[in-house]
Chain A
Amino acid sequence: MSDESLRELFRELHDEPVGADSLARVRAGVRRGIASRRKRWFAFLAFATAAVTFIAAFAFTPQQRTVTPRPPSPVPVTVPAILEQPGAPEAVRPRMTTITRRKKRELEKPVLIRIETADPEVVILLVGN
């Protein structure tokens, strides 16, 4: 086999037409591949958008304050009906009274009750704490 005949054979292999059906299949495969890649890309994009939207919505929505249950308000103590004064029933609220030094002093003073009798000479004096 001469070099020339070998080259001739190589040339024949080069010139041999590639089947049109093969090329059509390749093109169709490439188109399919590109379409599937696009589909995957769009799916990823949709997922990413949804994820970002969800995170953004979660991050920027003002959070509601947590409501801590308050202790039940004190039930107003009403004066029993027997002692009730005429008029609207008034709730008795406990009052904190601060005893000032002055008041304390007043309290420390002895109570003096003076009872005058019919006789101006006789006066009854009651002293108590």
Chain B
Amino acid sequence: MIVQLTVNGEDRHAEVAGWESLLWVLREDLGLTGTKGACEQGECGSCSVILDGEVVCSCLVMAADADGADVTTVEGLGTPEDLHPVQEAFVAEGAVQCGYCTPGLVVAAAHLLETNRRPEPDQIREALSGNLCRCTGYGAVLRAIEAAREAM
């Protein structure tokens, strides 16, 4: 079937097979490889995108079910020339190591600061508890989001 999506503000469509997830459509059909898949079970948050205003694991959303949806991926938050404050803070605070979890963390953090401009550290931790990172131990991630909060 043909799936229509608004991705990062652009109208996109893709011919999808029944087994395809939103993650697959984004990465393989639309070439938006910034969104990562690491567990296929909604446990790690690497594939987080904003779907109609909510953070979801795109590996758990069937492509067919996303027809007509508005999707924001990491590529839609900022560009190398014009970084989102969360992206800028992640780089500055050393919250990026291997970086594989980073797109998901950045999307979740940007969504948090969009919906709660002054999150306390515990609210930040709660909001990111669905995003696994194996490199950083989360310390720099927390510092980055606090820095982004102050910058925004």
| A-B complex is real | no
